[in-house]
């Protein structure tokens, strides 16, 4: 097969990250760019290449695969149009907003002949891939997970619930997907939330029980600070604690003394440390091999279901059980 021709819808921060990776991939080429602010597509074209298109339709005529890298609320419509045009789709997180839209997109993606991959990049980050390997060799009992932000001001739309769908969709969904990846399917949860700095719920405490019997606590604040690490997983096993600090480090403390091993990824390039290089490679692998991608539309749907369940648990004050 010739090179996979990549079209990018939304050439802001993350569109350029993926575009730059594909511009260096010999199996792919950036062939088309579309942004509602055309100067952004023109600027991106200078570094990552590709024809600057004046509409999404024109972009669809000039690519084999579409990267959906515009803000959250736009994902469903852009992805559905790409599926309808017979394209492979890489859709950034969040998969979509709301259960109905997520179900519609999941069904369309699953009925499509093309690949549909969701951008839960952290699954490929070396720190989290290592955690998964260590957990596969031990029996974990419980965990504490944290995912904070310092603000919802940059980019400006991250504080606009009409665009993001809510803080859990914008940020926390990364580690919601990570919990399923590391600990398996969820059986039930309870959650508390409150509103402080923004016109939406911006502070969350959640307790989850998994089908395996594993359980964990999860804290997420949108206006804490950028104190390192704003993202951390601590897992507790028999006389063992494994702890991650963002995508930089993993500590493994075994036995009854105070010694521990540290694995550091701070010398790894950010695009690889955060898993972007690996997920972009996986998308092309899947297109060329016909094998399912590592993060499917079903995974995307389940991350949306988890977000909605937490909001529902807070609204209703009830425990949410999963089928």
Q: Which residues bind ligand NAD (CB under 6 A)?
A: 9-15, 34-37, 40, 69-72, 74, 92-93, 119, 121, 155, 170
Question: Whose Cβ is closer to ligand NAD: residue 92's or residue 231's?
Answer: 92
Specify the residue, 31 or 69, whose C-beta has the smaller distance to ligand NAD: 69
**Cα-flanking dihedrals φ and ψ of residue 296, to 5°?**
-95, 175
Residues 22, 291: Cα–Cα separation, whole Å: 20
Spatial distance between the Cα atoms of 285 and 269, rounded to a whole number of angstroms? 22
Contact call for residues 263 and 252 (beta carbons, < 8 A): yes
Residue 264 C-beta: closest distance to ligand NAD, Å? 21
- Is there a contact between 44 and 10 (Cβ–Cβ < 8 Å)? no
Q: Which is nearer to ligand NAD, 117 or 121 (CB)?
A: 121
Question: Judged by CB, which is closer to ligand NAD: 55, or 289?
Answer: 55
CB of 142 to ligand NAD, least distance (A): 27
What is the C-alpha separation between 278 and 121, in angstroms, rounded?
8
Q: 106 or 273: whose CB is closer to ligand NAD?
A: 273
| Among candidate residues 35, 27, 28, the one with its CA nearest the CA of residue 9 | 35
Which residue, 250 or 295, is less far from ligand NAD as judged by CB?
A: 295
Residue 55 to residue 179: CA distance in whole angstroms: 38
The nearer residue to ligand NAD, 210 or 274, going by C-beta atoms, is: 274
CA nearest 104: which of 81, 80, 86? 80
Q: Partners of 88 in the beta sheet?
A: 65
Q: How far is the CB of 93 from ligand NAD (least distance, A)?
A: 5
User: Which residues are CB-contacts of 46 (< 8 A; sequence separation ≥ 6)?
Assistant: none
**Separation between Cα atoms, residue 47 and residue 45, nearest integer Å:** 5
Q: Quote the CA–CA distance of 305 and 99 in Å, as a whole number.
A: 6
* Cβ distance to ligand NAD smaller for residue 37 or 84: 37
Residue whose CB is nearest to ligand NAD in the complex, by number = 12
What are the backbone dihedrals phi and psi of residue 34, each rounded to the nearest 5 degrees, phi first? -140, 130
Least distance from C-beta 129 to ligand NAD, angstroms?
Answer: 16
**In the complex, what is the shortest distance from the CB of residue 119 to ligand NAD, in angstroms, rounded to a whole number?**
5
Nearest distance from C-beta of residue 7 to ligand NAD, angstroms: 11
Residue 66, helix vs strand vs coil:
strand
Residue 242 contacts residue 139 (beta carbons within 8 Å): no
CB of 238 to ligand NAD, least distance (A): 34
* Shortest CB 91 distance to ligand NAD, Å: 9
């Amino acid at each position: 097969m010739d090179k996979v021709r990549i079209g990018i819808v939304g050439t802001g921060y993350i569109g350029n990250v993926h575009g730059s990776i594909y511009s260096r991939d010999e199996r792919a080429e950036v062939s088309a760019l579309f942004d509602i602010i055309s100067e952004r597509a023109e600027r991106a074209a200078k570094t990552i290449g590709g024809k600057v298109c004046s509409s999404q339709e024109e972009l669809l005529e000039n690519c084999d695969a579409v990267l959906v890298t515009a803000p959250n609320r736009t994902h469903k419509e852009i992805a559905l149009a790409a599926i309808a045009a017979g394209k492979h789709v890489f859709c950034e997180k969040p998969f979509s907003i709301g259960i109905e839209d997520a179900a519609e997109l999941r069904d369309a993606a699953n009925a499509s002949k093309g690949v549909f991959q969701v951008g839960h990049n952290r699954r490929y980050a070396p720190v989290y891939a290592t955690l998964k390997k260590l957990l596969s060799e031990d029996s974990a009992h419980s965990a504490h997970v944290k995912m904070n932000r310092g603000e919802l001001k940059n980019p400006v739309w991250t504080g606009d619930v009409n665009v993001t769908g809510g803080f859990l969709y914008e940020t926390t969904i990364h580690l919601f997907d990570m919990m399923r990846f590391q600990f398996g399917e969820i059986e039930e949860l309870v959650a508390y939330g409150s509103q402080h700095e923004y016109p939406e719920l911006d502070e969350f405490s959640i307790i989850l029980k998994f089908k395996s019997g594993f359980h964990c606590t999860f804290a997420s604040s949108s206006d804490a600070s950028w104190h390192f690490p704003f993202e951390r997983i601590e897992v507790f096993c028999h006389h063992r604690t494994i702890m991650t600090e963002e995508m930089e480090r993993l500590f493994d403390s075994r036995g009854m003394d105070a010694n521990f091993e540290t694995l550091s990824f701070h010398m790894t390039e950010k695009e690889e440390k955060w898993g972007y290089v690996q997920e972009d490679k996986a998308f092309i692998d899947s297109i060329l091999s016909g094998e399912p991608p590592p993060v499917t539309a079903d995974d995307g749907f389940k991350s949306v279901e988890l977000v909605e369940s937490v909001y529902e648990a807070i609204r209703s004050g009830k425990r949410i059980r999963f089928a």
